[in-house]
Amino acid sequence: MPEGDAAGDLSAELLSSPVWTDAQLARAGIPVVDAPFVSIGGGMGSFVMVDLLRISGFPLENIKVLTTSDYPWENYEYLTGVGQLPPGYRIRSDSASTPDNIWGFPSYAVRAAFGARSVRGFIAPIWNVLTENLLTDYWTPLAGQVFQGMSREADRIGYWQTLAKGQARMVRRRAEGGYFSILTVEEGSTRRIAYRSSFVHLAVGYPSVRFLPDLQAYRRRYNDGYRFVNAYEPHEHVYDDLVKQPGTVLVRGGGITASAILHRLFNDRERLGAQTQVLHLMRTHVDSSHGPHVFMRRRGGDGWAYQGFNWPKASWGGQLKVRMEKLGDEERLRMWQTIKGTTTPYRKGWQKQLRKARADGCYRTLAGQIDHVDPGPDGTLATFIRERDSTGTRRIDVNFVIDATGLVGDITEHRVLADLLEYTGAERNGLGRLQVSPTFEVPGARHGDSRLYAAGATTEGSYYAPVDSLLGLQYAALTICDDLARLGFCRRIGPIRSISQWWKWMRNVTP
Ligand SMILES: Cc1cc2nc3c(=O)[nH]c(=O)nc-3n(C[C@H](O)[C@H](O)[C@H](O)COP(=O)(O)OP(=O)(O)OC[C@H]3O[C@@H](n4cnc5c(N)ncnc54)[C@H](O)[C@@H]3O)c2cc1C
């Protein structure tokens, strides 16, 4: 049944008004639930926000998390899993990015050392963090260690009790003050519930997975989702097929997911005897270290741009962060253009594997872009590549194409965000995402003393660069918490509270 027609559903009147009254909701028959603080998403961003609120002393019953997920790391686990970084693999961020522990101490490396059952197991992570980036690669935790830590913290803070399961549909201003967030639910006597709150926090992750036009065109024309796949959709059949019979795969992209996919393909060659030939296509083929000047250079070579983390380290809490906050809009946008770009960490193990694969003749890089893809002979794909420095296209027949490029679609592909832009005064920033202030408030959506905040990938392009990272999400939560304390909504986490709460964390006691 279309929206606006059923009892207990969004009426035509509600759908078209930017500001709602309690009476309008009552007329539409939508039940209202009071929750002073509502977080929409229920992923890593919501989790760290609730964690901060609980540590600041905020009562559990005042928080609601509207989510489709059963647990906060569900989407992350899915994306890293299909992207070939399963729980037993090391994630990209370092030992101090601890979403389960706002103090960052004990870090994951220290915890791994004290959890080890051998002297070697104890020394290895400590030695690694002491010498990282000089003698060793950055020490990064296993994804499984991150999930375990979050599970313990979720239990400690009572996170599970905040969950309201369903699909958030929209956030609109409430005439009498605050906001209404509409949740569509599958079960129960009503289809929609309106959460009435003073504060809304949006942490919906990636607005959508971005399928590039060539992939969409191929699928539309040939109705084939088997051979040309996106790295962020399940595609285990590609690896299975390539183990069973020799084949050629074209991997597109130069980020960490492309690295992880190549690692998987070469592991399958080494361990399972696969005879796979790998063609690696990169639009920007980086031949050497690069950057505007000596202080902003990035290591690069063999096609890749190398960087430990997805943004320069100084943008988390160093001079780049401070500069971004002080720059005017145009200069800030120029800074974004300078520091953004697809990168992957330089890991000695991966480098060794790539060198071996090159020497064995099973790995080749190409600089260019796919023009289009058609079915080839014997169930193959004919890929037509526009190579760098060449005018025409070159045809290469392969068995599979794995597209590991950009994950983030346009923000209007997300219903809640599209609705915010249309009805609640939200605006886009220079990169086309959601504009937020340095306190992560969506400025156009302010409503009296009430605030609408946003965190995560949807806000990239505003004042803070690493928004889509575990530490960045924690920074956003801390900044929002401070803003709420200024508004008198929660207590500020000062030194004494911080120490006493850390001690509770250490003893695994409720905040
Ligand atoms: C492959 C990969 C590797 C990464 N590795 C790292 C790393 O090593 N270190 C690091 O710091 N960061 C990493 N990141 C980035 C980032 O930390 C994670 O993506 C993190 O999960 C982002 O958290 P989030 O809350 O913004 O989004 P998510 O964790 O994706 O959560 C968003 C949630 O919102 C829900 N949702 C969306 N719309 C609605 C709606 N309308 N109603 C209800 N629920 C909704 C989704 O179902 C989802 O559960 C990585 C990202 C990817 C993709």
Q: Is 43 in the pocket of ligand 1 (CB under 6 A)?
A: yes
pLDDT, tens only, 167-191: 999 999 999 999 999 999 987 778 9
Does 443 have pLDDT greater than 90?
Answer: yes
Residue 450: in which H helix or E strand, if any? none
Mean pLDDT of 436-460: 97
pLDDT value at position 271?
A: 96
Q: Is 167 in the pocket of ligand 1 (CB under 6 A)?
A: yes
Q: Is 260 in the pocket of ligand 1 (CB under 6 A)?
A: no
| Separation CA 155–CA 192 (nearest Å) | 28
Q: Is 92 in the pocket of ligand 1 (CB under 6 A)?
A: yes
pLDDT, tens only, 322-340: 999 999 999 999 999 999 9
pLDDT, tens only, 402-432: 999 977 889 999 999 999 999 999 999 999 9
| Separation CA 436–CA 456 (nearest Å) | 11
Residue 465 CA, ligand 1 centroid: distance in Å: 16
Strands 277-282 vs 299-301: parallel, antiparallel or unpaired: unpaired
Residue 476 CA, ligand 1 centroid: distance in Å: 14
Residue 65 CA, ligand 1 centroid: distance in Å: 15
Of the given ranges (16-30, 198-212, 357-371, 466-480), which has the lowest mean pLDDT? 198-212
Mean pLDDT of 230-251: 97
Atom of ligand 1 nearest to the CA of 455: 26
Q: Whose CA is nearest to atom 12 of ligand 1?
A: 469
Residue 94 per-residue DSSP state: -
The domains found in the chain, sorted by start residue, are 12-76+146-208+410-506 (3.50.50.60), 92-141 (no CATH), 213-287+343-403 (3.50.50.60), 309-339 (no CATH)
Mean pLDDT of 49-57: 97
| Separation CA 448–CA 474 (nearest Å) | 26
Provide the 10 A C-beta neighbour count for residue 486: 11
Q: Residue 398: which of 216, 255, 218, 260 has the closest Cα?
A: 218
Three-class DSSP category at 360? helix
Which phi and psi (to 5°) does residue 471 adopt? Answer: -70, -35
Name 211's Cβ contacts closer than 8 Å, sequence gap at least 6: 219, 230, 403
pTM of the model: 0.94
Q: Using an 8 Å Cβ cutoff, are 413 and 207 in contact?
A: yes
pLDDT value at position 211?
A: 85
Q: Angle at the Cα of 67 (from 63 to 68), degrees rounded to 5?
A: 160
pLDDT value at position 209?
A: 79
Burial of 134 (0-12, 13-18, 19+ CB in 10 A): exposed
Atom of ligand 1 nearest to the CA of 66: 43
Residue 440: pLDDT band (50, 70, 90) is very high
Does 14 have pLDDT greater than 70?
Answer: yes
Q: Angle at the Cα of 313 (from 309 to 314), degrees rounded to 5?
A: 155
Q: Is 66 in the pocket of ligand 1 (CB under 6 A)?
A: yes
Q: Using an 8 Å Cβ cutoff, are 450 and 294 in contact?
A: no
pLDDT value at position 210?
A: 79
Residue 96: pLDDT band (50, 70, 90) is confident
Strands 63-67 vs 179-184: parallel, antiparallel or unpaired: unpaired
Q: Residue 35: which of 201, 198, 202 has the closest Cα?
A: 198
Say what angle helices 348-360 and 256-272 make with each other, to 10 degrees: 60
Does 10 have pLDDT greater than 70?
Answer: yes
pLDDT value at position 188?
A: 73
Does 7 have pLDDT greater than 80?
Answer: no
pLDDT value at position 408?
A: 81
Q: Using an 8 Å Cβ cutoff, are 169 and 188 in contact?
A: no
pLDDT value at position 140?
A: 94
Which mutation among 98, 469, 471 tests ligand 1's pocket best, with the greatest number of atoms within 8 A of CB?
469
Q: Using an 8 Å Cβ cutoff, are 321 and 465 in contact?
A: yes
Provide the 10 A C-beta neighbour count for residue 138: 19
| Separation CA 400–CA 310 (nearest Å) | 28
Three-class DSSP category at 264? helix
Residue 55 CA, ligand 1 centroid: distance in Å: 22
Does 1 have pLDDT greater than 70?
Answer: no
pLDDT value at position 407?
A: 76
Provide the 10 A C-beta neighbour count for residue 172: 23
Mean pLDDT of 148-157: 98
Q: Which of left, alpha, beta for 61 (phi over 0: left; psi -120 to 50: alpha)?
A: alpha
Q: Is 45 in the pocket of ligand 1 (CB under 6 A)?
A: yes
pLDDT value at position 401?
A: 98
pLDDT value at position 218?
A: 96
Q: Is 341 in the pocket of ligand 1 (CB under 6 A)?
A: no
Q: Whose CA is nearest to atom 27 of ligand 1?
A: 205
Burial of 444 (0-12, 13-18, 19+ CB in 10 A): middle
Q: Using an 8 Å Cβ cutoff, are 13 and 24 in contact?
A: yes
pLDDT value at position 4?
A: 53
pLDDT, tens only, 264-319: 999 999 999 999 999 999 998 898 888 877 778 889 999 999 998 889 989 999 99
Q: Whose CA is nearest to atom 31 of ligand 1?
A: 43
- The 3-class SS string of 427-447 reads CECCCCCECCCCCCECHHHCE
Q: At which residue do the structure tokens 């207590």 appear? A: 491
Q: Whose CA is nearest to atom 2 of ligand 1?
A: 80
DSSP string, 18-57: SEE-HHHHHHHT--EEE-SEEEEE-SHHHHHHHHHHHHTT
Mean pLDDT of 139-161: 96
Q: Angle at the Cα of 79 (from 428 to 113), degrees rounded to 5?
A: 115
Does 3 have pLDDT greater than 80?
Answer: no
pLDDT, tens only, 482-511: 999 999 999 999 999 999 999 999 999 999
Residue 49 CA, ligand 1 centroid: distance in Å: 13
Does 62 have pLDDT greater than 80?
Answer: yes
Amino acid at 440: F
Atom of ligand 1 nearest to the CA of 416: 41
pLDDT value at position 399?
A: 98
| Separation CA 39–CA 21 (nearest Å) | 21
| Separation CA 356–CA 103 (nearest Å) | 41
Does 111 have pLDDT greater than 70?
Answer: yes
Residue 327 CA, ligand 1 centroid: distance in Å: 28
Amino acid at 92: R
Tokens (6 digits) for 384: 């037509």
Q: Using an 8 Å Cβ cutoff, are 133 and 308 in contact?
A: yes
